[in-house]
Amino acid sequence: MRYAIILPDGAADEPLDELDGMTPLEAANTPHLDWISTNGRQGTVVTVPKGYLPGSDVATLSVVGYDPNEYYTGRAPLEAVAQKLKVGRDDLVFRCNLVTIVDGRMEDFTAGHIGQAEAERVIAELNDKLGDETLTFYPGVSYRHLMVLRDAGSFAKLKTTPPHDIPDAEVADHLPRGKGKDRIIDLMSRSQDLLADHDVNQVRRDLGENPVTSIWLWGQGLRPRLPGFEKRFGVRGATIAAVDLIRGIALSIGWPLIDVEGATGYTDTNYAGKGAAAVAALDEYDLVVTHIEAPDEAGHEGDAAGKVKAIERVDEHVIGPVLERLRREDDWRILIAPDHPTPVAKRVHTTDPPPFCMAGRDVVSVLKRPFSEANGRQSDLHIDPGHELMEYFLKR
């Protein structure tokens, strides 16, 4: 049996006036996705258990078959796995965004999707001026970086807020709370003084680009311990992803990473390259999982047209080639599963159960309709808790 899973991050949405009352999934031209939903099954899945924020960390763990209540320790430590950082048992790992705060409001949680070379210069400066034997900054990709605070396990229950959840909001209302908050707030404040006249920001301002005015620390946690996927499910998997969160989850459960040149974790990613890599990987692995961040990024930017375009590119360049490859096999299945909604109108994640669809061997069509949020809700298949979706998908 050959299995393929495609994760169009944040693709689920809500009806939009600018799309004549349709969602981006409904407005997009997605013949391959609609073939899967029409000839297979579609439904909804509760990817975010009660009590959790609707982040890709929790939601993706659910989709790949791991109960967040049992295995989730935080977002940042999963990203640390992707970066192959040595993290001690009592070390606390934070996600460190480079952000733009203007007049006390979160103007841009990506600092204008800052370029890699500029970001690495900023992180090096932060490490030089703010780092010490107990604190280290590690460069990631674009605006996404990490900070490790050693022997700080007692701060693990600190409450922090993802910056993408507070667009245009007063940051003072969303600063860390709980034990350890003073140290984290102080670091964020000191970074603002350090970055105010930084050379990188002088150039960015001259070019009319958003400067890096601050770091934003969030998503902290202790190192994760996840059992191997092949041991649990008897299936040998691999993954294609550009963002460290998904790469970290993959490595934590024993999935090798397949790198694709030009994969950016943004709307300009190499869609065709990801599709071609997934097709090739199906010759070697039982299960190939391909993640595309682009729909989520467009949702955060409030860009309805951009989200429609991203979904169409996923369908054309990833879903289409993978489906064509699988249909040459006798035994195959494919699953399309957005991890959570990222509504364009709200620009943040929501906890609404996203739709999913699957087709292939022994998958009997029930609701012969195109793939959409509304059709998923009208189906007879609603999986709760979400971590049971994987077992359902793999079941012979």
CATH number at 2-72+227-394: 3.40.720.10
CA distances from 224 to 183, 289, 295 (A): 24, 21, 27
H/E run at residue 380? none
Nearest to 290 by CA among 308, 277, 305: 277
Mean pLDDT of the 260-285 span:
97
For residue range 306-335, list pLDDT tens digits in order.
Answer: 999 999 999 999 999 999 999 999 999 999
Q: What does the mean pLDDT of the chain come to?
A: 96
CATH 3.40.720.10 intervals, the chain? 2-72+227-394
Q: 294 with 310: CB under 8 angstroms?
A: yes
Instruction: Return the exposure string of 103-134: e unless at least 16 CB atoms fall within 10 Å of the residue's CB, then b.
Output: eeebbbbbbbbbeeebbebbbebbbeebeeee
Asked if pLDDT for residue 226 goes beyond 80, the answer is yes
pLDDT of residue 242: 95
Nearest to 385 by CA among 3, 74, 44, 75: 44
Query: In sequence order, which residues have a C-beta less than 8 Å from that of residue 6 and are 6 or more positions away?
Result: 278, 289, 290, 292, 314, 318, 319, 322, 334, 335, 336, 337
pLDDT of residue 156: 87
For residue range 347-377, list pLDDT tens digits in order.
Answer: 999 999 999 999 999 999 888 999 999 999 9
Find the angle CA(27)-CA(296)-CA(20) to the nearest 5 degrees: 25
Q: 221 with 75: CB under 8 angstroms?
A: yes
Asked if pLDDT for residue 396 goes beyond 80, the answer is no
pLDDT of residue 153: 86
